[in-house]
């Protein structure tokens, strides 16, 4: 028998003895309760611990901060990796525009969180809210965006990023400027009979 065969045989025999000892040990141990098995399985499949009790509104600040941090880290990582177009969809209750507990203040807090992080990463950020769409009596703006542009203009920004953030952007081909690095489009939405996508495409082509 060669040296290699000897080593292989030794390892196989040792593994067999170890398996037998393990089986005997398991038989000696009392059967774990159902609860213990469930807990062990849950720990093995443990993932991200998201905040609970999201049906309590307004949410606690720590709850909102969890989602702000999660979105911000994802956006900054994507921009750093060179991604050109990013879509963020987060619909916890206070950001679900179809729900009755939607809060525009939460939307603006999230926008400020992301914009500040990007500005501190060396980017010049323009925050864009769509203009009213349609013509004549059919001119309208989605209800969730009503007054958002005005509120953005009234917001305070950290001193170290105030010069790198422009909160007065819109959506259209005339918006991008040479010094802009990142555009944050706040909840762009269509209205009945009028599509916003062509304006976004024109803006992306120019930017």
192-202 pLDDT per residue, tens? 778 889 999 99
**Number of other CB atoms surrounding residue 101 within 10 Å:** 15
Higher per-residue pLDDT: 132 or 115: 115
Within 8 A by CB and 6+ apart from 112, the residues are 155, 157
User: For the whole model, what pTM was predicted?
Assistant: 0.72
Q: Does residue 169 come out as left (phi exceeding 0), alpha (psi in the -120 to 50 range) or beta? A: beta
Over range 56-83, report the average pLDDT. Answer: 90
Return the percentage of the chain with pLDDT > 90, whole number: 38
Q: Any idea how long the chain is?
A: 207
Q: 91-95, 127-131, 144-148, 161-165: which has the minimum mean pLDDT?
A: 144-148
How confident is residue 69, by pLDDT bands cut at 50, 70 and 90? very high
């Amino acid at each position: 028998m060669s040296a290699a065969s000897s080593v292989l045989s030794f390892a196989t025999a040792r593994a067999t003895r170890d398996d037998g000892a393990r089986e005997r040990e398991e038989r000696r141990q009392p059967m774990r309760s159902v609860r213990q098995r469930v807990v062990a399985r849950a720990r093995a499949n443990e993932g991200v611990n998201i905040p609970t009790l999201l049906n309590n509104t307004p949410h606690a600040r720590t709850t909102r901060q969890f989602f702000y941090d999660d979105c911000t880290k994802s956006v900054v990582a994507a921009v750093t990796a060179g991604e050109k177009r990013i879509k963020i969809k987060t619909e916890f209750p206070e950001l679900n525009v179809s729900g009755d507990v939607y809060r525009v203040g939460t939307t603006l807090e999230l926008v400020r969180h992301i914009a500040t992080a990007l500005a501190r990463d060396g980017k010049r950020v323009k925050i864009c809210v769509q203009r009213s769409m349609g013509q004549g009596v059919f001119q309208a703006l989605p209800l969730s965006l009503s007054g958002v542009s005005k509120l953005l203009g009234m917001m305070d920004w950290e001193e170290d990023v105030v010069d790198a953030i422009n909160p007065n952007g819109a959506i259209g081909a005339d918006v991008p400027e040479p010094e802009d690095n990142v555009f944050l489009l706040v909840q762009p939405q269509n209205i009945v009979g009028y599509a916003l996508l062509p304006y976004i495409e024109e803006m992306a082509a120019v930017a």
